[in-house]
Amino acid sequence: MKIIATLVSSFLILVSSFAAEQRPNIVFLLIDDLGYADCGFNGGKEIHTPNIDKLAAGGTVLESLYVQPVCSPTRAALMTGRYATHTGVYTIVRPHATWGLPLTERTMANALHDAGYATSIIGKWHLGEFEPAYLPTARGFDHHYGHYFGMLDYFTHMRGPDLDWYRDGQQIKEEGYTTHLLAKEACRTITEKDKTKPLFLYLPFNGVHGPLEVPDEYLKPYGALTGGRQRLAGMLAAVDEAIGQIVAALESSGQRENTLIIFSTDNGGPPPGTNTPLRAFKGSIYEGGVRGCAFANWPGHIPEGKRLKEPMHTVDWYPTLVKLAGGSLEQKTPLDGKDVWPMLTQGAPSPHDAILCVQSPTVAAVRMGDWKLVMNGSDADSENAPAGAKGKGKGKKAKSTTADSATAAQFGETLALYNLATDIGEKKNLALAEPERVAAMRARLAEFLKDAAKPGQLGQEANALIEQPKKKAK
């Protein structure tokens, strides 16, 4: 009987291993604050990114992948397959804020875990940590290593007065540059993974987000650059090196051929990054704030050497990857994302008739075909502004043109219309010349926004006001 039991057990392990090999490992590389044109594959000339560029050349570059204007909203959209209008995550979840990604949301990690994947997040969470239920290990991830917030010191791992470095919910003190530590942990996770399960490795680097810090040796090749641009170059070079190490770990462990690698930024780059030829920077709903630098690579499955212009949104990764993994999309919360696998692999058109770019319920844009309608847009970086605020934070305010003003008078708000096929820099507002198109697109935008969730942080702000001690009457 023992021999039979051993044989059955060995057979089941063999079957499980075979099944794991049939479904791809998924490695999702999310680069923080990367400019659209900072990598070589997207036109960058100043910074050397050989490992990233090699992956891009071996896969398909996504020229029109839309993300959110700032980081937490993109992470929420990626994890849920739902726009901010449904999750309420329009802005950054600040340290110790008493809100986060709503607990009613099913995450991509939940779905892939249920489908039999081992799930790890190595890097920045940024979707809430004020209660244990909001931590990544309570949202579908088997393992987390890294940090909860943004803007931590790359060497001390401090975020203000807080040590922001954790392993599976436990605060830890370690020495090392964060990009190096994340790469080391990612390589360990790959080489030591359970062979009976495929791996979902979500790797949201804190590079190249500020503060702009990097070991001195990474600055030496960029002596021709100065100040923040030189430091950014070194930081991106360190990220590129880390990605090279991760690919090497996949190759040495025999997993590369069965691994889908997705590379994306979380939002447009802020200065000193560059988004050429796009307009504006991080924090804006113009293309420079919401068009991500991205590609997908899976040898033998995704075409190599291709550049894809069809538009998609980061919400699309959820249904695409869960379906590819053999998981279930049956859930209580309806998805905004659509399966883009035929678009990526077979040349099918975008499954979207319209794509929403949203900063708040009153600041949004819609893309339909080559056309984009912008409502209450600004070139300003809204990272430090509350949802719904216009023209706040860093950066310069957008100048209103006569066409903007006339459109505002006609529709009661600032509307601008651009043909991205001929004007990717969004320089020529065609709203007055295309009133019927504006009306149709405004109606479609209204559909997206009609049941928009309130910004998640507003409940926190209201509670804070209630909890403030009353001032004594003089």
Helix 71-80 to helix 317-324 angle (10° resolution) is: 40
Residue pair 24/259 in contact (Cβ under 8 Å)? The answer is yes
For residue 210 the two structure tokens come to 């500020």
Return the DSSP state at 161: T
How far is 60 from 304, CA to CA, in rounded Å?
6
Helix 50-57 to helix 227-252 angle (10° resolution) is: 60
Question: Which residue's structure tokens are 């990054």?
Answer: 273
For residue 199 the two structure tokens come to 């791996």
Active site residue 209: no
CA 27 to centroid of chain Cα atoms: 13
Q: Hey, CA dihedral for 306, 311, 317, 323, is it positive or negative?
A: negative
How far is 77 from 84, CA to CA, in rounded Å?
7
> What is the rounded end-to-end Cα distance, in angstroms, of the chain?
88
Active-site residue identified among 39, 71, 293, 357: 71
Active-site residue identified among 86, 113, 126, 313: 126
How far is 22 from 15, CA to CA, in rounded Å?
11
Active site residue 39: no
Residues marked active site are found at: 71, 126
